[in-house]
Amino acid sequence: MSTLFFPRLEQTFSSLPVSAISEQRMRLLDEMAEYLIVKVRKGEEIRLNFICTHNSRRSQFSQIWAQTAAAYYGVEAFCYSSGVEVTAFNPRAVAAIQRDGFKVIQKEGDNPVCFVFYSDDEDPIVTFSKVVDDAINATKNFVAVMTCDHADENCPVICGAERRFPLRFEDPKAFDDSPQEEFMYTERSRQIGAELMYLFKKVGSSR
């Protein structure tokens, strides 16, 4: 039985800017896809940990979109996110994924746990700010995907990672409290969504 995604989220899928992915980014995504395809053919689990410094915006977007894209294309994958230090899943980023059509149930607190749903029929994606070796994350045989330049340049070794890819995104934080804030957070979420849907489409179509 195929997953029944929320209608507003389905609309977002159809408007993701896949055609805007640059050739350079596409080459990197193709390299990632080839690596994941080999794992699938070997019968190995796909585990992706998306890492940025604060685990508050780009890495959270990436975990959510990767897990959703895997479900959309019927690929079994376990997607995580983490940072160098603990902060919180930024409320502006939470609002952006809600605009995209995800449903969010959020616990209260300085570092709230968010349960992110793409369907009423599937378990939620559990998100909160955490470091790489948090107990909820995979500890070995995972792919480290570096989503920000600071973390990529300042973390030369990610313990337990079997492979590392530098899939960096611009930080929407630069637009906090500006007239462009909502637009830029939505743009970044959908850029990440487009690239990860492209990635998992390649992986899914290889089976």
Output the six-digit token pair for 185. 């957070």
Please state, for a pLDDT cut of 70, what percent of the chain lies above it: 100
Structure confidence at residue 152 (pLDDT) = 87
Please state, for a pLDDT cut of 90, what percent of the chain lies above it: 92
Q: Which residue has the higher pLDDT, 155 or 198?
A: 198
| Alpha-carbon Rg for the chain in angstroms | 16
- In this structure, what is the dihedral angle of CA atoms 49, 88, 147, 169, given to the nearest 10 degrees? 150
DSSP 156: S
Question: Dihedral of CA 189/203/71/107: which sign?
Answer: negative
Q: Of 44-53, 154-163, 167-176, which gets the smallest average pLDDT?
A: 154-163
Is 90 exceeded by the pLDDT of residue 16? yes
Is the pTM higher than 0.95? yes
Secondary-structure percent of the chain, ordered helix, strand, coil, rounded to 5: 45, 20, 40
Q: How far apart are CA 58 and CA 81, in angstroms?
A: 9
Domains of the chain: 7-13+43-205 (3.40.50.2300)
Structure confidence at residue 166 (pLDDT) = 96
- Which whole-number Å values give the CA distances from 160 to 51, 139, 203, in the listed order? 13, 6, 23
Structure confidence at residue 207 (pLDDT) = 74
Structure confidence at residue 154 (pLDDT) = 82
